Amino acid sequence: MLRILFLSCCLGLLCCAAPALADPRNDPREQALSDSLDLWREGRYEQLYGTLSHRSALTRERFVQAMQDTDLRPACCFTKLRDFRLITENRTTAKVYARIGMEGVPGTDGAKSREFTLDHEEGSWKMRLNDLKALAGIKSTKKN
């Protein structure tokens, strides 16, 4: 009898805690930003390039090389993406604010706060190449 009562209490607690354990990224724009940061952190630069919008300024090969040359990368887990909020949105673009935890940032607390523009293309939200380059500290180079 005591076991049944104990199991019932445990089950009740789990049911109450389930919403708190769910992924907080219900917003598809936040999820798109989070997914891009994950690909960057994992070093999957070719796949990351394919998920970005406004890519015409940089070829896939040059992008991969530039990403391999930077010491910066997003932090892991809950420090990766914080304080996400939507600023403005229309059918094809959204401006958002987020605080991105970074590793390899000398002399700072390791976080960068900024606005990002996301584009809705091919049925999903995409981070812009220029926003990622700025976050990674990649300077634009002019073609000769």
* 114 and 98 Cβ atoms separated by less than 8 Å: yes
* Confidence band, pLDDT 50/70/90 cuts, at residue 20: very low
Query: Taking the model in full, what pTM does it have?
Result: 0.78
pLDDT band at residue 4 under the 50/70/90 scheme = low
Residue 104 binned pLDDT confidence (cut-offs 50, 70, 90): confident
User: Tell me: domain 26-136, CATH 3.10.450.100, correct?
Assistant: yes
Structural contact between residues 84 and 27, judged by C-beta atoms closer than 8 angstroms: yes
What is the rounded distance in angstroms from the CA atom of residue 136 to the CA atom of residue 126? 17
- Mean pLDDT, rounded, of the chain: 84
Residue 100: helix, strand or coil by DSSP?
Answer: strand
- Residue 110 has a pLDDT of 83
Stretch 113-141: mean pLDDT, rounded? 93
Q: 24-33, 72-81, 103-112, 125-134 — which is least confidently predicted?
A: 103-112
Measure the CA–CA gap between 46 and 108, rounded to whole angstroms. Answer: 29
Does the pLDDT of residue 38 top 50, yes or no?
A: yes
